[in-house]
Amino acid sequence: MPKLWTETVEAHRRAVRDATLDATAALVAEHGLAAVTMSRIAEETGIGRATLYKYFADVNAILMAWHERQVMSHLHHLAAIRNQAGDPGQQLEDVLEAFALISHEDHGTELTALLHRGPHVARAQQHLQEFVQNLLAEGARAGVLRSDVAPSELASYCLHALTAASSLPSKAAVQRLVSVTLAGLRPPLH
Amino acid sequence: MPKLWTETVEAHRRAVRDATLDATAALVAEHGLAAVTMSRIAEETGIGRATLYKYFADVNAILMAWHERQVMSHLHHLAAIRNQAGDPGQQLEDVLEAFALISHEDHGTELTALLHRGPHVARAQQHLQEFVQNLLAEGARAGVLRSDVAPSELASYCLHALTAASSLPSKAAVQRLVSVTLAGLRPPLH
């Protein structure tokens, strides 16, 4: 098959897949998880039910794929934020604030509990842990962050501390949480 | 009924209840959740199966009661530790370290996930939040802790940060986590 044809088919498949994920997320947000069926999703996406089943086995598989796309987009967002910031201290501050805001918006719902059982979540957490760990190591080398505790332990500390953002009432409270968490990362006074 | 009789009956009931909880916890620890039945628990406790059913409806109810007793004993332990320590700063440090060690020992197992759905857990978390919040308010008044962020927000921060202890490899790592978390609570430098 000519290359253009393959590329077009591939682009079409991605578009159908993306449209399915968007439609499913919108339906679940509007009607709740229990009310959403494969027929309803096919109708909303504007594809046949048989076609939908060629892409996904069930609603659960679509939700997992949707969540994986969300998680990947969060990770890309955090990487972009790091690349925009200047020195290691500023990079860490901006990344931790962005992570806390994601946690703040991602309230612990029934859906969250379901989605977080997916295998992609463990992979993403591992990735996030390493990403923050590298920022902490750079900050320690630059002398702006503490170097008396291993970056891996500091990464666990700040990722756990910032999940408190999910139950905070406002963005201002999230920013205070970030500044308190960062205070724990500064070099101790001697 | 004479008072002595009522008291004796009450003491007997508590003893049977406690023995049932102990036996169930031991059986689950040894054989796993799926292998434990009401008959097995009755046999191990040394009471009749019919008697056991007068106390508890099923294995799940026994496990919930066992976990509630565990959680209450942790809260009492933390209160005792606060009462032993001197000034507010020391009280907070000792309580947070004890909490982190409890989290460290309470690894996230299948059983933990089940038990944490019980309504007693939400109550205990609320109690713990208020308990730590009061210590933080006292520390702020004494000038040893920061007063620029509300004690309720600081309590969320440190309880979340310290749950990182559940995945740390050693008690030394837990102690470093406590000291990093405490550093976030000190008055900021001007």
What is the DSSP code string of A79-109?
Answer: HHHHHHS-SHHHHHHHHHHHHHHHHHHS---
Per residue in B112-139, pLDDT tens? Answer: 666 777 788 888 889 999 999 999 999 9
- H and E: helices and strands count for chain B: 9, 0
- Give the SS3 label for residue A146: coil
Q: What is the mean pLDDT of residues A106-115?
A: 66
Domain segments of chain A as ranges = 1-56, 67-190
Choices 3.10.580.10, 3.40.140.10, 1.10.357.10, 1.10.150.130: CATH for B66-190: 1.10.357.10
Separation between Cα atoms, residue B13 and residue A131, nearest integer Å: 55
In this structure, chain A runs to a length of 190
Assign B1 a pLDDT band (cuts: 50, 70, 90): low
Over residues A42-63, mean pLDDT: 93
A chain contacts of residue B186, beta-carbon cutoff 8 Å: 183
Chosen CATH of A67-190 out of 2.120.10.70, 1.10.357.10, 3.40.605.10, 3.40.50.300:
1.10.357.10
Contact A180 B156 (CB under 8 A): no
Alpha-carbon dihedral A165, A167, A171, A174, rounded to 10 degrees: -30
Please list, in sequence order, all residues whose beta carbon lies within 8 angstroms of the beta carbon of residue B31, skipping any fewer than 6 positions away: none
Contact A181, A158 (CB under 8 A): yes
Q: For residue A121, what are the contacts with CB-CB under 8 A and spacing of at least 6?
A: A67, A71, A115
Mean pLDDT of the A143-149 span: 94
What is chain B's mean pLDDT, rounded? 89
Best to test chain A binding among B145, B156, B168, B190 (most A CBs inside 10 Å):
B156
pLDDT at residue A52 is higher than 60: yes
Angle at A95 between CA A94 and CA A100, to 5 degrees: 100
Taking the C-alpha atoms of B114, B115, B116 and B119 in order, what is their torsion angle to the nearest 10 degrees? 120
**Which single residue is written with the structure tokens 């393959």?**
A6
**What are the tens digits of pLDDT across the range B166-183?**
989 999 999 999 999 999
CA proximity to A103, closest of A133, A128, A138:
A128
Task: Give the residue from B146, B148, B160 with the most A CB atoms within 10 Å of its CB, the best one to mutate.
Answer: B160
**Residues B85 and B170 sit within 8 Å (Cβ to Cβ):** no
Q: Is the pLDDT of residue A62 over 80?
A: yes
User: What's residue B106's pLDDT?
Assistant: 75
Q: In this predicted structure, what is the pLDDT of residue A1? A: 57
The answer to whether the complex's ipTM is over 0.90 is: no
Rounded to an integer, what distance in angstroms lies between the CA atom of residue A90 and that of residue A179? 12
Looking at residue A107, what is its pLDDT? Answer: 63
- Residues from chain B that touch A186, judged by Cβ atoms under 8 A, are 183
CATH number of B1-56: 1.10.10.60
On whether the CB atoms of residues A65 and A56 are closer than 8 A, the answer is yes
For A187, counting Cβ atoms within 10 Å of its Cβ (0-12 exposed, 13-18 middle, 19+ buried), the class is middle
Q: Is the pLDDT of residue A112 over 80?
A: no
Residue among A160, A186, A188 whose CB faces B161 most closely: A160
One-letter amino acid at A101 equals: L
A 138-177 residues with CB < 8 A to B: 146, 149, 153-154, 156-164, 167-168, 173, 176-177
HSE-CB of A142 using CA atoms within 13 angstroms: 16
- What is the pLDDT of chain A when averaged over all its residues? 89
**A186–chain B Cβ distance below 8 A for any pair:** yes
If one counts every other C-beta atom within 10 angstroms of the C-beta of residue A15, the result is: 10
CB B100 within 8 A of CB B177: yes
Determine, for residues B168 and A156 on separate chains, whether the beta-carbon distance falls below 8 Å. Answer: yes
Amino acid A113 reads: A
Question: What pLDDT does B8 receive?
Answer: 85
